[in-house]
Amino acid sequence: MTVKNKAPGKRYWRKWNLDYTKRVLSTNPTGDMARALLACWPPRIQQALRGRFSIPGGQS
C-alpha cells in the first residue's frame, strides 16, 4: 500500500497568506509590498487590516 501525500488545502494557504500579509504590515506598513499585498484581499479584510495596523486610506 502506498501512502499518498496530499497537498495542503485551500484553507491552509489562505491562512498562510494572511499571516504573511500581517508580518509584512507589522514590519513596514507603508511600503510598496504592504500596499500590494493589501490590495489582494477583499475590502472587508482590507478594512480590518488597515484598522489593526493603523494604515490610512480607503479602498485600494
Residue-level pLDDT at 58: 66
Q: Find the largest Cα–Cα distance for the chain.
A: 56
Q: Is 27 contained in some domain?
A: yes
* Dist CA 46 CA 49 (whole Å): 5
Q: Is the pLDDT of residue 59 over 70?
A: no
Q: Is 58 contained in some domain?
A: no
pTM exceeding the 0.85 threshold for the entire prediction = no
9-58 tens-digit pLDDT:
889 999 999 999 999 999 999 999 999 999 999 999 999 999 999 998 76
Q: Is 30 contained in some domain?
A: yes
Q: Is 20 contained in some domain?
A: yes
* Dist CA 60 CA 35 (whole Å): 8
Q: Is 42 contained in some domain?
A: yes
Q: Is 24 contained in some domain?
A: yes
Q: Is 16 contained in some domain?
A: yes
Residue-number span of the structural domain to which 19 is assigned: 10-49
Domain count, the chain: 1
- First-to-final CA distance of the chain: 51
